[in-house]
Structure 1
Amino acid sequence: MAEEAVPARPIVGTAAEHASTEVPEAAPGDTVADVLALLRRRAFDSVSVIAVVDGERLVGVVPIERLLIAPDGQPMRDLVDPSAPVVAPTTDQERAVWAALRRGRLGVAVVDDEGRYRGVLPPRRLVGVLVQEHEKDLARLGGFGGSSRSAREATAEPVPRRLWHRLPWLVLGLIGSVAAAGVIDSFEQSLNRQILLAIFLPGVVYLADAVGTQTETLVIRGLSVGVSIRTVAWREIVTGALLGVLLAATFWVITVLVWGNAAVATAVALALLAACSIATLVAMALPWILHRCGRDPAFGSGPLATVVQDFLSIASYFLIATALL
């Protein structure tokens, strides 16, 4: 004996998830008096619209306002609203809500590809979806990928969970700091020969971090509202390179005027240009990678990007200085 087919569950976030069949239904030939009698006999999820159904096929919907002012003997087929919105079960819930709002209607009928009636999104559910989507948009603007509920939980979570979310990234930062210290130690002879290199190192690292932080903030904001990394990549690369050029030129002039060492000024300026360009690339790549891996870039990008930028900035600084000096 064949097993009875189990109806498929509606997809989360679609019109089918919110469609209700607990609304008044009438046949095309039913009169207004018949429907009014039906409304008096039982309670419904909503009576804002009456679904006019011929078998399984939707003829249309009748707003309650039309029903109440129509003569008792008028058939329901004559009262059908020709501009009432109709959506498919797989329609995104937000699109279904906007279909109702654009036409100023209090309900949206749901009909499948074969024309079969699947229910109505009544006003209460339309408002619920609207609030849910509004909360999602606010959460994305705050850098969270879920809902405002997850955003509130992230800001009010207890200390142990805060540590769990943040400490692993900071441990990676600690490891990177140790590696950066090893790079500096390996260039000890260069520092002994030219002490100015040690003086300018913190400035180069700071400026590279600052440029990277600006790019990182812009990228995370974009990802949180659905902006593709491709949209900002080229402009950010050019911007990072131009910032590096401007900062390097300014730094070169100041160093020559104050310290009078053109060779060191040139080496540091070129290192600053390289560090700012590298920081821009790292600041774009890491949030995108974390986002693609399903991790919140708001937690991991900052510490991880900082240590990677610092390591690469220090390495490029000493490599360029050693080659030129």
Structure 2
Amino acid sequence: MIEEFKPRTAGARMTARFLAVPPGFTVRGLKDLLYEKAGEFETIDYVYVTDEGELVGVASLKEVFQAEDDMPIRQVMRGQVIEVGASAHQERAAYLALKHGLRAIPVVDCNRVLLGVIPHAALLEIFHQESAEDALKAIGIHHKPREIEDIKTTGLRLIKARLPSLLLGLVGGTLVAYLIGGFEIILKSYIALAAFLPVIVYLSDAVGTQSQTLVVRMIALEPEFSVRRYLWREAKVGLALGAACALAVFPVAWFIQGTVIFACVVSASLFISVILQSLVSTYASILLHDLHFDPGTVSGPVTTIISDLTTILIYFAIAVVLLKIV
């Protein structure tokens, strides 16, 4: 049954060797079953209660052994069960286990028929795998973690894994350098603009990376979330972050250059860039997911290139308007 599910889904990680009984099963009968056949189960952290296959409740072993022997399991079980669909991504199962403090997660079909259980060891493996992949994707390496982490992996293979994203970053850096070169007249007129360029670019990149990381996690763990509500929340957060950064940099720019108008250029550029990057990074990840691409691929050099180009354009455009440079 398990082989029918796609790799990295909850159904592919479950085991069929779990403990399940009908609602009328007594606590005494359950204890006898455990004593006789405990070794046949891969996971016995919980007892799952099924009615004609449908998952209707769950009880921990602690709850079972604290109950009276003649009590039916329906009186011991909890009706609200934390479960995961068989076709759901494996990362959601690990998230549910962490969120609710569970050692195993039941896997059901669309009719809540219990198909299997993801045991504790599998949940730990999923968590490690997904965390490692997210970390590697964040720096532009899209290879399996085990391959990257293995000391036996050849240097040539590691070069192939890391070089493409670096070359892409090189292309992006060249484009940024060419774009800055187009504003040579502005930089000659106000050399202090060059001093604040790294500050604005860095903060915009940082906010974009934060927003992207958070929405990628949301997509993986809560796939049915409201996009409109999330974007609205991100817009408010970006607005607050942009305002805070702008207010912080304003007195610094005023002190260095000595003019209020220059400080307004730096602050306004940072304010707009932070808001823009938070929304662009968020929506780009959502759009990729809707197009059935891995939103994690947006991270790294690609997002950095887009962020740098747009931030620089905003910075110099505002400088031209406010400083009246021709």
Paired residues of 1:25 and 1:51 also in contact (CA < 8 A): yes
- Cα displacement string for residues 129-158 of structure 1 (whole angstroms, at most 9, x for unaligned residues): 245236645765787399998578789963
Residue 221 of structure 2 corresponds to: none
Paired residues of 1:215 and 1:236 also in contact (CA < 8 A): no
Q: Superposition pairs for residues 157-172 of structure 1, below 5 Å?
A: 158-172=158-172
Q: Secondary structure at the match of 2:18?
A: coil
Q: What's the RMSD between the two structures over aligned residues? A: 5.1
Structure 1 168/12 Cα, relative in aligned 2: closer, same or farther at 3 Å? closer
- Cα displacement string for residues 145-182 of structure 1 (whole angstroms, at most 9, x for unaligned residues): 99998578789963344331132343243234334434
Paired residues of 2:139 and 2:299 also in contact (CA < 8 A): no
Paired residues of 2:58 and 2:81 also in contact (CA < 8 A): no
Q: CA deviation at 1:324?
A: 6.7
Q: Does 1:45 align with 2:42?
A: yes
Q: What TM-score, normalized to structure 2? A: 0.60
Paired residues of 1:19 and 1:110 also in contact (CA < 8 A): yes
Computing the radius of gyration from Cα coordinates, the structure with the larger value is: 1
User: C-alpha separation between the residues in 1 aligned to 2:82 and 2:5?
Assistant: 18
User: C-alpha separation between the residues in 2 aligned to 1:269 and 1:69?
Assistant: 69
Q: Matched residue pairs, number?
A: 286
Q: What TM-score, normalized to structure 1? A: 0.60
After TM superposition, the structure 1 stretch with the greater mean CA deviation from structure 2, 147-156 or 83-92, is 147-156
**Aligned residue among 243, 246, 251 for 2:256:** 251
Q: CA deviation at 1:234?
A: 0.7
Paired residues of 2:253 and 2:263 also in contact (CA < 8 A): yes
**Aligned residue among 118, 130, 133 for 2:127:** 133
Paired residues of 1:89 and 1:110 also in contact (CA < 8 A): yes
- Cα displacement string for residues 190-239 of structure 1 (whole angstroms, at most 9, x for unaligned residues): x8xxxxx62742x3123133133123213312431348632521113323
Structure 1 unaligned blocks of 5 or more: 1-6, 192-196, 254-264
Residue 206 of structure 1 corresponds to: 195
Structure 1 268/65 Cα, relative in aligned 2: closer, same or farther at 3 Å? closer
Identity across the alignment (%): 13
Residue 216 of structure 1 corresponds to: 205
Paired residues of 1:141 and 1:224 also in contact (CA < 8 A): no
Residue 311 of structure 2 corresponds to: 309
Q: Secondary structure at the match of 1:300?
A: helix
Q: Secondary structure at the match of 2:101?
A: helix
User: C-alpha separation between the residues in 2 aligned to 1:128 and 1:136?
Assistant: 12
Q: Secondary structure at the match of 2:40?
A: coil
Residue 121 of structure 1 corresponds to: 117
Residue 291 of structure 1 corresponds to: 285
Q: Superposition pairs for residues 259-270 of structure 1, below 5 Å?
A: 268-269=262-263
Residue 174 of structure 1 corresponds to: 174
User: C-alpha separation between the residues in 2 aligned to 1:127 and 1:147?
Assistant: 26
